[in-house]
């Protein structure tokens, strides 16, 4: 083969090789470009997913926070409602025309060796008794909480004594009920009522009002959440005779009742009309 032909073949071979290499380089470059684009898409996708997750997390957190706040508000409202009911329970009207609700059972606490009261008024009662004594008086609790059975015994005994005094047996229960409540209609069964007398005048009669002890209690009992339950001249409304020794706990409503001058029945009627 001639030299010229050899050179031509060499040139052709080199050109073919360069063309091949160039083609491979272009393809490799395109491949790198595609890989880079995929990487960029992946990065963008991850960014979007992270953003979405954060947004979802914020939304979920917001939802949870809203639900939690809603539960807290509902609980606070329920608690306020229960507190209000607890206060209004102090105004439960019990008299010959309004018996104690069936199943009503107070939570009791002893205030001395033989007397118990509703635990909600125990501290106030003891404070009133102590302050009365410190003022130089001689208060003495002669009756507090009574069970249904005990009240029944008191009532039956009163009926018998009324009959023995000459009252007709058929009329005796009605007469007895003016001074001893019919079982189921006594405030003592609430645990919110106490009979307080003077240690040196123990008769349960109108003479109690003349003692220094009763004068102090009538003037100051409202400061401790109590009211004189059966004031003089209110028998037609209360159904019970004047008892200047019977005090009823009404809690924070005592001041308003005291200032109003209303008997408890009238005060309750006024509140219901509001």
The residues assigned a catalytic role are 243
- DSSP H or E segment with residue 116: strand 116-118
CA 7 – CA 25 distance, rounded (Å): 27
C-alpha span between 87 and 222 (Å, rounded): 16
> Quick one: tokens of 141?
């609790």
State the sign of the Cα–Cα–Cα–Cα dihedral 59, 65, 69, 75.
Answer: positive
Instruction: List all residues 6 or more positions away from 225 whose beta carbon is below 8 Å from its beta carbon.
Output: 121, 124, 249, 250, 251, 252, 254
Short-list 147, 137, 156, CA closest to 198? 137
d(CA 172, CA 35): 110
Helix or strand (DSSP H, E) at 99? none
**Calpha distance 24→30 (Å, rounded):** 10
Residue 198 backbone dihedrals phi, psi, to 5 degrees: -85, 135
């Amino acid at each position: 083969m001639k030299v010229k032909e050899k050179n031509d073949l060499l040139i052709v071979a080199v050109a073919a090789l360069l063309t091949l290499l160039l083609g491979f380089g272009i393809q490799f470059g395109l491949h790198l470009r595609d890989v880079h684009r995929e990487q960029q898409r992946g990065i963008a996708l991850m960014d979007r997913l992270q953003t979405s997750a954060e947004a979802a997390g914020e939304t979920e957190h917001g939802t949870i926070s809203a639900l939690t706040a809603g539960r807290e508000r509902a609980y606070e409202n329920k608690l306020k409602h229960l507190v209000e009911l607890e206060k209004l329970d102090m105004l439960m009207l019990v008299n010959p025309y309004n018996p104690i609700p069936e199943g009503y059972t107070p939570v009791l606490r002893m205030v001395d060796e033989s007397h118990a009261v509703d635990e909600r008024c125990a501290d106030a009662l003891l404070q009133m008794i102590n302050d009365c004594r410190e003022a130089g008086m001689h208060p003495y609790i002669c009756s507090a909480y009574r069970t249904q059975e005990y009240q029944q015994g008191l009532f039956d005994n009163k009926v018998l004594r009324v009959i023995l005094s000459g009252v007709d047996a058929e009329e005796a229960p009605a007469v007895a009920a003016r001074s001893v409540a019919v079982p189921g209609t006594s405030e003592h069964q609430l645990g919110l009522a106490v009979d307080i007398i003077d240690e040196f005048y123990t008769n349960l009669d109108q003479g109690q009002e003349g003692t220094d002890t009763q004068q102090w209690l009538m003037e100051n009992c409202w400061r401790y959440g109590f009211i004189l339950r059966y004031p003089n001249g209110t028998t037609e409304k209360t159904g019970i005779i004047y008892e200047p020794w019977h005090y009823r706990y009404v809690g924070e409503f005592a001041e308003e009742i005291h200032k109003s001058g209303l008997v408890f029945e009238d005060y309750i009627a006024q509140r219901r009309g509001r």
